[in-house]
Amino acid sequence: MWAYLNGQILKEDQAFISPLDRGFTFGDGVYEVIPCYAGKLFLFEDHLKRLQTSLEKTFIPFTDDIQNLDKILLELQKRNKFLNQSFYIQVTRGTDVVRSHQAEKNLKPTVFITSQELQENPFRINPNKKGIKVRLEEDIRWHRCDIKTIALMGNTMTLHDPSKPSVDEIFFHKDGMISEGSKSNIFVFYKGQVFTPSLRQNILPGITRSYIIKEMQKNNIEVIESEINLEKLLASEEVWVSSSNKQVQPVSKINEYILPIKEPKDSMWYKVLEFF
């Protein structure tokens, strides 16, 4: 597999980064994930804008790599050959001479990009497939989830807790209100209406989330961005998640609560899946 590192495209096993890179020592960096279908980047401009926003909010300067990101990704797409690919772009503040909380002045950011085959959504292949399993967790993460930072310990730690049952996704909640998944945004179909947590609730502004909202509105389906309490979540007719790599995937179980089973043709999540 080929990767990109600081101006060069090279084999992944030849891509070396200093252990004093601030991404390694402090998690001091941001990332973006961009899907590519049949050689075409999906919602590229939206993803690029979010990456630039993350860089601005963390005071990491833009580089020529970011300005030419589409060309780099398409070159990697050709070299790695998969028809559908998922690109991971990571930008850190750079490499210090010594580890220090205060970064040295004029550091050059480290830009690393890799790709992997993007498997077809299993719920597109088999809409009758049982939905994903979810566990509820109190949200104890930091209060800047609007930044797509590489420091994701709060998102990944609980998935590795051997004392808890294995699930596909974690839904975070705070003060009784659902916020987002550990790696996805959340939609709820309740009493004939679609709800999703608003961006005011300390969640990542998902590119796929935004795309779904716009497409639903084009199709005269109202989407209400508001607080969703745990009672509403557990009384919902349908729940599904969205992300750049997942597209749309239904939920079948939340903790011990099993959601009602519907035929895909009668399900709102399946209508949304048709937007992709």
For residue 78, count CB atoms less than 10 angstroms from its CB and return exposed for 0-12, middle for 13-18, buried for 19 or more.
exposed
Residue 11 is among the residues annotated as catalytic for this protein? no
How does 130-152 read in b/e, with b if 16+ C-beta sit within 10 Å?
ebbbbbbbebebeeebebbbbee
Q: Are the C-beta atoms of 79 and 116 separated by less than 8 Å?
A: no
Question: Among residues 49, 148, 214, 265, which one is catalytic?
Answer: 148
Give the residue numbers annotated as catalytic, written as ranges: 148
